[in-house]
């Protein structure tokens, strides 16, 4: 890969894949099913963190509690900021979810058994795999295939807002 490949390795800090985050570290014994669930849940965790921050922010403002380190920083809850962050997280989570779906739907024949290519300890002939396969197909067809289409349609429909100064102020605080 050479020099360019080694320089691109720094981009792994933006990865939402659990394998990249752990750097090959084994957390403990895992079944193939638990590994799949972990790989599906890992990209969704930042959404839970964002919801927790929003809840804390709302509670602090509602209770009129302002810690010393946040004096002057806590203003009303701006839902546009949280929506914008959620959209960014959605874009970051898209690739690892797509990759997990493709990896676990790729079964190959090995002697008398079908297994997942990248995880040969996960048999494609079990009832658990068939359940996971159905869930992965729903995820692949729903959010992964139609998500970009819906996002593109939404952006196209709302492109007129880009010329509205009030709309721009919501997203660019420095214009206030």
Find the farthest-apart pair of alpha carbons in the chain and give their distance in angstroms, rounded: 67
Is the pLDDT score of 156 beyond 50? yes
Q: How many domains does the chain have?
A: 1
Give strand ranges (E) for the chain: 107-110, 113-116
**Three-state secondary structure call for residue 109:** strand
Lowest mean pLDDT among 3-17, 64-78, 89-103: 3-17
Give the predicted TM-score (pTM) of the model.
Answer: 0.67
Give percent above pLDDT 70 in the chain. Answer: 73
For residue 37, tell me if it sits in a domain.
yes
Q: What is the pLDDT at residue 176?
A: 46
Joined tokens for residue 77: 């809850």
Block residue for tokens 């919801």? 51
DSSP state of 34: H
Lowest mean pLDDT among 4-18, 77-91, 100-114, 127-141: 4-18
For residue 43, tell me if it sits in a domain.
yes
Is the pLDDT score of 48 beyond 70? yes
Range of the domain at 111: 31-171
For residue 26, tell me if it sits in a domain.
no
Is the pLDDT score of 128 beyond 70? yes
For residue 51, tell me if it sits in a domain.
yes
Measured CA to CA in angstroms, residue 91 lies from 16, 21, 84, 85, 101 at distances of 11, 18, 11, 10, 16
Going by C-beta distance under 8 Å and a sequence separation of 6 or more, which residues neighbour residue 129?
Answer: 116, 122, 123
């Amino acid at each position: 890969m050479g020099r360019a490949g080694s320089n691109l390795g720094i981009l792994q800090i933006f990865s939402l894949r659990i394998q990249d985050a752990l750097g090959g570290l084994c957390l403990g014994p895992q079944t193939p099913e638990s590994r799949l669930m972990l790989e599906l849940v890992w990209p969704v965790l930042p959404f839970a963190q964002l919801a927790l921050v929003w809840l804390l922010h709302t509670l602090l403002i509602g209770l009129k509690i302002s810690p010393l380190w946040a004096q002057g920083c806590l203003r009303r809850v701006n839902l546009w900021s949280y929506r914008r962050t959620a959209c960014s997280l959605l874009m970051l989570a898209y690739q690892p979810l797509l990759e997990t779906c493709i990896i676990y739907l790729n079964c190959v024949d090995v002697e008398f058994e079908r297994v997942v290519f990248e995880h040969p300890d996960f048999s494609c002939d079990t009832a658990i795999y068939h359940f996971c396969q159905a869930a992965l197909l729903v995820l692949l067809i729903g959010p992964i295939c139609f998500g970009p289409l819906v996002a593109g349609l939404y952006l196209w429909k709302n492109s007129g807002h880009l010329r509205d100064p009030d709309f721009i102020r919501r997203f660019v605080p420095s214009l206030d």
